[in-house]
């Protein structure tokens, strides 16, 4: 088989495997688009943000800082913290790439390395073919960016009451992520509840209430993460169970 035919075969396979991901992305990105519209972004600005960031938590945090008129440094720090997991995911995924692979392939694959696309690639046996990842990105990225555009447009033409109701969808997504994890691990539940309480208290505390929401979130995220790691560490038995299990099964 020629190199070109092989690339096309992997590209099509990646697109096939990523089709369900693209549909899921569209639904979540729609809610992101509603938020983008609420903070005053244009359709093009929201589309470009989705194309470049491709992360729901990072984008949502960035949009909130835009809405509160925060600084660019504040936004960069918030997105960096919200997307910090990609440092670890990138390191893990690098082990699935052929050491002889060209640098530009590594850079292109890194840009599209979302949680779900990471899971697709990491679950494959052996090295991941670059064109498999490109195929997944070819469907997932438009699903995300187009969903954002539709959300912005819907936010412009729908009645305010409907827009407000649709805006709740994003919080529903975050709750859907938190609840199952909290049920499986009591420590996660403790951290989540503590975060809610501390966040509420700091909005009323005079010394911190004067800070912008973005700065306050950055500070609380760092402090609570460090405290959780120190006070609620993963014990040896749990660590071995996680290593033995298949998180993508």
Q: Is the pLDDT of residue 243 over 70?
A: no
Q: What is the pLDDT of residues 115-163, one digit of tens each?
A: 888 888 888 888 899 999 999 999 999 989 999 999 999 888 878 777 7
What is the pTM for the complete model shown? 0.70
- C-alpha angle 172-242-221 in degrees, rounded to nearest 5: 45
Q: Is the pLDDT of residue 177 over 70?
A: no
pLDDT of residue 48: 92
Does residue 229 or residue 247 have the better pLDDT? 229
Average pLDDT score, the chain:
81
**Burial of 30 from C-beta contacts in 10 A (0-12 / 13-18 / 19+):** buried
């Amino acid at each position: 088989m020629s190199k070109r035919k092989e690339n096309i075969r992997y590209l099509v396979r990646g697109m096939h495997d990523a089709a369900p991901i693209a549909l899921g992305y569209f639904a979540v990105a729609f809610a992101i688009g509603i938020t983008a519209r609420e903070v005053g972004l244009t359709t093009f600005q929201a589309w470009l943000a989705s194309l470049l960031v491709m992360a729901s938590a990072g984008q949502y945090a960035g949009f909130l800082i835009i809405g509160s008129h925060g600084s660019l440094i504040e936004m960069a720090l918030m997105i960096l913290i919200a997307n910090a997991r990609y440092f670890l995911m990138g390191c893990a995924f690098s082990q699935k790439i052929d050491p002889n692979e060209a640098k530009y392939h590594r850079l292109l694959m890194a840009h599209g390395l979302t949680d779900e696309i990471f899971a697709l690639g990491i679950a494959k046996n052996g090295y991941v073919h670059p064109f498999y990842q490109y195929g997944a990105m070819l469907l997932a990225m438009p699903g995300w960016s187009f969903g954002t555009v539709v959300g912005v447009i819907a936010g412009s033409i729908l009645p305010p009451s409907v827009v407000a109701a649709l805006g709740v969808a994003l919080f529903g997504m975050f709750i859907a992520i938190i609840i199952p994890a909290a049920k499986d691990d009591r420590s996660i539940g403790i951290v989540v509840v503590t975060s809610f309480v501390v966040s509420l208290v700091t909005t009323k505390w005079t010394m911190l209430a004067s800070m912008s929401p973005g700065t306050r979130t950055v500070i609380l995220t760092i402090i609570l993460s460090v405290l959780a790691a120190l006070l609620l560490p993963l014990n040896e038995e749990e660590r071995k169970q996680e290593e033995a299990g298949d998180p993508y099964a």
